[in-house]
């Protein structure tokens, strides 16, 4: 912006006096240096430069703050018997930044991307664009065998498997047992309980993600699915919504306009919810299991009464279908070593490494049998509820333009106070229909 | 963009002189002109390659339905993308926000820049120090400065938020726009001040003294002598600042990322290109921004051309 005002620099004077042969030599040297730089950059980017030694496979994932991922990488390198060496390349921390970097490189046919960790909402987009390879044959069988159904669904697109679910996530209802004796099973009960606590002047907020971002879309998806509906149809070609969406929005609006809502609902993301609960102002929290160890560390006093149960139902008697999250591993279309990349990806998500991911990294596994492994229990006292929630989980819309769909939704439902159930559904219908045709704008 | 402005102004001037010379170009003059073209040909070719091609490609993309993730569905659709953008509330909100930020930040920067220029002009000792100190905000990378503002306004972290009763102005549209404008003003006032200082030094001291002898008050001297003589400098400074301000991106990207309807047209273009990966719609937005910038430049240059003093008539 401001740089355009800088005066243009003249050609450096010193250069002009260099005699011609010397200048030519300089040019050649510079050329060689550039070529050398290019080579080393390429080599660093992967490919088997030399014919001996293991092939380097680049694994692109956000930087895991625990040592779980790097442990998995070294485990696999040790087990590969010199066939490959996984090089862990960090993507940005924020999901948008990760996706943008991958998309830009894949759109430019970057052959250095062998394995990548995809958020569970990107598979349709990457598969439709032809940026990731489908899993077939024995590789596919190894993934499908023993993996949680909804986790597999996130990795499927148009009848093919495009990724291997590496870890999963889902929300539970966390509550304070000193304030609530019997946890509510439905949204109506929960709001009523909170309003009662408000009347008694006790901590009463219900903590949920109301800010204008993916978290709000997750909330809406959970509510619509729990009311028996969906946002798009199964192949992502049409908008469905309908009565379940109106019902979902009515409950969301009811919360937003009730004393049960946190006053900062409009700007709250998962972490703000956690902090509010730890600060003691809330009675309920709908959030991922990471809040459990955090409460233990941050507020041991409240931790004694910090309990969990399944996500509340929208329709009484119909278990909630909570939106599934997590990371799936995919192999890049332009990879030089796809066969080895599939093998390495399988290793990275095998039972041993998923157990490390769960106990060290704090992310729920996607292999069903691990939920019955006693090694998981100390860190996951809520393992049975997580498994139950995951087995009944809902998947976000499978569409190549999911990003636009999600941005449109979060802008229409946040701030939640502004929801007008029927009106919001009809604007959502037309905006999503435009999005599916690449017609509309995103805000 | 802004680089083109003086060049365009220059061509206007050349055009004005041209009629006298047109017919009698001697052999030598023609040869000289040819040599001139030859000498600048490499620069022209590079410019065409790095600016002409992307612009034309963007215009072409804006006429297509083109989602990066749907390469199989690329199709020429004429002006439908422009229809989609111009009929979308998001575009008009972004344009409104951009214009509000532009008008307020440029107007306030002009006043403050003028004060700063007067100060720098009149400082008797430590001139260099004063001018260097004034330039510090301009020297800081915009993104780094924007992070500074963001943290300052974050409740329970920032000193500004604490000073205003732990408020969170970046979470509401009106207050966030004020914070963005303040950040813009803080950042660009030194630049405005320097440009105006250049204009100020052109005002002859004798004229000021003569007016003083004639009994003109300080305000009269400012409005009747200083301002008219500085007009060209003021207009150039305003043109630069307006164009820059209209294309505002980095400050907003860091401060709010366009949340709560605080995005400028550039943010809207970025989101549609890089988040939605909609090359058609995103390019249409870019072309519309280009047209808006061109309109601003034309208004300024035309105004500049007609009202320019310093030519023979005018204020002398």
Determine the pLDDT at residue B164. 87
The mean of the pLDDT values for chain A is: 87
Domains, chain A:
55-168+324-391 (3.40.190.10), 172-323+401-436 (3.40.190.10)
Contacts of B91 in chain A (CB under 8 A): 441
Which pLDDT band holds residue B308 (cuts at 50, 70, 90)?
very low
pLDDT higher than threshold 50 for residue A38? no
Q: Which one, of A229, A284, A276, A220, lies nearest residue A251 by Cα?
A: A220
Interface with B, mutate which of A10, A408, A443 (most B CBs under 10 A): A443
Instruction: Name the residue among A87, A38, A47, A37 with its Cα closest to residue A334.
Output: A47
Q: What is the mean pLDDT of residues A18-36?
A: 43
Instruction: Choose, out of A210, A402, A438, the residue to mutate when testing the contact with B (most B CBs < 10 Å).
Output: A438
Of the given ranges (A11-20, A32-41, A344-353, B199-208), which has the lowest mean pLDDT? A11-20
> Are A440 and B168 in contact (CB < 8 Å)?
no
SS3 content of chain A, % helix, strand, coil (to 5): 50, 15, 35
Please name the residues between 251 and 270 in chain B that touch chain A, using a CB distance below 8 Å: 258-261, 263, 268
Tell me how far apart the alpha carbons of residues B316 and B308 are, in angstroms, rounded to a whole number: 12
Nearest to A291 by CA among A209, A390, A210: A209
Report pLDDT for A360.
Answer: 87
Task: Give me the residue from B3, B65, B250 closest to A438, CB to CB.
Answer: B65
Do A224 and A231 form a contact (C-beta atoms < 8 A)? yes
The Cα–Cα gap between A135 and A163 comes to: 7
d(CA A315, CA A189): 11
**What is residue A397's predicted lDDT score, i.e. its pLDDT?**
95
pLDDT of residue A51: 57
The partner residue sitting opposite A212, judged by closest CB among B3, B88, B259, is B259
Say which residue, A132 or B71, is predicted with more confidence. Answer: A132
Q: Mean pLDDT: which of A277-281, A393-397, B189-193 is highest?
A: A393-397
Average pLDDT over residues A328-336: 96
Percentage of the residues of chain B whose pLDDT score is greater than 90: 48
Residue B54 has pLDDT above 70, yes or no: yes
**Which positions in chain B touch A400 (Cβ < 8 Å)?**
67, 69-70
Interface of A with B in 97-116 (CB under 8 A): 100, 103, 107
Q: Residue A18 above 60 pLDDT? A: no
On whether any CB of chain B is under 8 Å from the CB of A279, the answer is no
Residues B108, B193 contacting (CB under 8 angstroms): no
Peptide bond into A415 cis (omega under 30): yes
pLDDT value at B56 more than 90: yes
Domains, chain B, ranges and CATH?
Answer: 89-277 (1.10.3720.10)
Q: Is A126 exposed, middle or buried (0-12, 13-18, 19+ CB in 10 A)?
A: buried
The structure tokens listed for B310 are: 């310093």
Contacts of A62 (CB under 8 A, 6+ apart): A90, A91, A92, A93, A98, A117
Answer yes or no: are the C-beta atoms of A283 and A194 closer than 8 Å. Answer: yes
Predicted confidence band of residue A46 (pLDDT cuts 50, 70, 90): very low
> Considering only A311-315, B34-38, B152-156, B266-270, which range has the smallest mean pLDDT?
B152-156
Under a CB-based contact definition with an 8 Å cutoff, are residues B66 and B279 in contact? yes
A404, B278 contact by CB (below 8 A):
yes
Average pLDDT value for residue range A347-372:
93
Please give the Cα distance from A336 to A333 (Å, whole number): 9
Q: How far is CA A131 from the centre of its chain?
A: 18
Give residues with Cβ within 8 angstroms of A146, minimum separation 6: A367, A368, A369
Burial of A125 (0-12, 13-18, 19+ CB in 10 A): buried
Per-residue pLDDT reduced to its tens digit, B128-151: 888 888 888 888 999 999 999 988
Residue B117: pLDDT over 80: yes
| A100: chain B residues, CB-CB within 8 Å | 274-275
pLDDT band at B120 (very low <50, low <70, confident <90, very high): confident
A84-91: strand order across its sheet = A84-91, A55-62, A115-119, A325-331, A164-169
Per-residue confidence band for A1, with pLDDT thresholds at 50, 70 and 90: very low
Cβ-based contacts of B171 with chain A (< 8 Å) = 266-267
Query: Quick check: helix, strand or coil at residue B25?
Result: coil
**pLDDT given for residue B23 in this prediction:** 61
Interface mutation target, options B39, B64, B69, chain A, most CBs of A under 10 Å: B69
C-alpha distance from A143 to closest chain B C-alpha (Å): 26
Q: Is A94 on the interface with B (CB under 8 A)?
A: no
Angle between helices A421-436 and A243-256 in degrees, nearest 10: 120
Does this complex have an ipTM over 0.95? no
User: How many residues are given for chain A?
Assistant: 443
Output the pLDDT for position B27: 86
Query: How high is the mean pLDDT of chain B?
Result: 85
User: Quick one: pLDDT at residue A188?
Assistant: 96
Task: Report the predicted TM-score, pTM, of the whole model to 2 decimal places.
Answer: 0.77
Name residues 15-34 of chain B within 8 A of A (Cβ).
none
**Rounded Cα distance, B188 and B237, in Å:** 11
Please check the confidence at residue A49 and state whether its pLDDT lies above 60.
no
In the predicted structure, residue A22 carries a pLDDT above the cut 60 = no
* Residue percentage of chain A with pLDDT more than 90: 72
| Residue B112 structure tokens | 């403050």
Interface of B with A in 155-174 (CB under 8 A): 168, 171
| Mean pLDDT of the A95-105 span | 90
Long-range contacts of A62-66 (CB under 8 A, 24+ apart): A62/A90, A62/A91, A62/A92, A62/A93, A62/A98, A62/A117, A63/A90, A63/A91, A63/A93, A64/A361, A66/A360, A66/A361, A66/A362
State how far the Cα of B283 lies from the Cα of B84, in Å rounded to an integer. 12
Residue A43 pLDDT greater than 50, yes or no: no
């Amino acid at each position: 912006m401001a740089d355009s005002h800088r005066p243009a620099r003249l050609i450096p004077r010193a250069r002009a006096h260099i005699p011609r042969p010397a200048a030519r030599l300089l040019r050649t040297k510079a050329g060689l240096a550039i070529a050398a730089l290019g080579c080393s950059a390429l080599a660093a980017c992967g490919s088997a430069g030399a014919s001996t030694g293991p092939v380097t496979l680049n694994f692109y994932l956000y930087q895991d703050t625990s040592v779980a991922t790097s442990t998995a990488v070294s485990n696999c390198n040790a087990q590969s018997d010199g066939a490959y060496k996984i090089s862990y390349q960090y993507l940005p921390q924020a999901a948008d930044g990760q996706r943008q970097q991958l998309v830009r490189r894949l759109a430019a046919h970057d052959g250095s991307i062998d394995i990548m960790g995809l958020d569970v909402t990107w598979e349709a987009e990457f598969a439709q664009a032809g940026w990731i390879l489908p899993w077939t044959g024995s590789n596919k069988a190894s993934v499908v065998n023993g993996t949680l159904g909804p986790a597999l669904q996130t990795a499927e697109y148009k009848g093919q498997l495009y990724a291997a679910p590496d870890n999963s996530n889902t929300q539970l209802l966390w509550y304070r047992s000193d304030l609530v004796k019997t946890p509510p099973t439905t949204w109506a009960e929960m709001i009523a309980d909170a309003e009662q606590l408000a009347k008694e002047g006790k901590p009463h907020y219900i903590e949920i993600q109301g800010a204008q971002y993916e978290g709000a879309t997750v909330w809406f998806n959970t509510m619509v699915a729990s009311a028996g509906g969906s946002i798009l149809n199964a192949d992502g070609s049409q908008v469905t919504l309908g009565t379940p969406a109106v019902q979902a929005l009515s409950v969301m609006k009811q919360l937003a306009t009730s004393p049960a809502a946190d006053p900062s609902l409009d700007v709250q993301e998962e972490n703000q919810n956690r902090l509010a609960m730890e600060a003691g102002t809330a009675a309920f929290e709908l959030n991922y299991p990471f809040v459990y160890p955090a409460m233990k560390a941050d507020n041991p006093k409240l931790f004694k009464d910090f309990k969990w149960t399944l996500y509340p139902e929208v329709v009484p008697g119909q278990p909630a279908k909570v939106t599934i999250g997590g990371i799936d591993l995919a192999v890049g279309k332009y990879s030089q070593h796809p066969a080895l990349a599939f093998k390495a990806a399988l290793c990275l998500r095998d039972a041993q490494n998923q157990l490390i991911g769960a106990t060290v990294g704090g992310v729920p596994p996607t292999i069903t049998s691990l939920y019955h492994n006693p090694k998981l229990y100390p860190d996951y006292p809520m393992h049975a509820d997580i498994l139950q929630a995951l087995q009944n989980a809902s998947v976000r819309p499978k569409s190549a333009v999911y990003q636009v769909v999600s941005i449109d939704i979060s802008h229409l439902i946040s701030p939640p106070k502004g929801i007008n159930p029927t009106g919001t559904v009809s604007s959502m219908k037309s905006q999503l229909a435009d999005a599916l045709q690449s017609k509309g704008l995103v805000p | 963009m802004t680089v083109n402005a003086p060049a365009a102004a220059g061509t206007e001037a050349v055009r004005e002189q041209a009629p006298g010379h047109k017919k009698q170009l001697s052999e030598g003059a023609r040869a000289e002109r040819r040599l001139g073209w030859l000498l600048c040909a490499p620069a022209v070719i590079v410019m065409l390659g790095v600016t002409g091609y992307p612009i034309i490609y963007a215009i072409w993309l804006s006429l297509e339905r083109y989602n990066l993730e749907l390469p199989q569905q690329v199709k020429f659709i004429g002006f439908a993308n422009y229809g989609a953008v111009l009929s979308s509330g998001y575009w008009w909100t972004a344009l409104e926000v951009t214009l509000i930020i532009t008008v307020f930040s440029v107007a306030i920067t002009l006043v403050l820049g003028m004060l700063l220029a007067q100060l720098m002009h009149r400082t008797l000792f430590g001139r260099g120090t004063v001018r260097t100190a004034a330039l510090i905000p301009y020297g800081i990378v915009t993104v780094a400065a924007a992070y500074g503002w963001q943290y300052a306004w974050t409740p329970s972290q920032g000193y500004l938020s604490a000073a205003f009763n732990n408020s969170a102005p970046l979470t509401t549209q009106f207050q966030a726009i004020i914070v963005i404008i303040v950040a813009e003003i803080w950042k660009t006032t030194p630049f405005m001040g320097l440009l105006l200082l250049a204009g100020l030094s052109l005002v002859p001291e004798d004229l000021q003294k003569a007016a003083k002898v004639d009994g003109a008050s300080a305000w009269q001297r400012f409005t009747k002598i200083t301002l008219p003589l500085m007009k060209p400098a003021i207009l150039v400074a305003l043109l630069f600042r307006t164009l820059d301000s209209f294309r505002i991106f980095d400050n907003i990207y860091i401060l709010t990322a366009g949340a709560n309807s605080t995005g400028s047209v550039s943010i809207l273009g970025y989101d549609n290109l890089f988040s939605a990966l909609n090359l058609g719609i995103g390019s249409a937005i870019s072309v519309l921004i280009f047209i808006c910038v061109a309109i601003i430049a034309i208004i300024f240059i035309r105004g500049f051309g007609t009202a320019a003093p310093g030519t023979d008539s005018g204020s002398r």
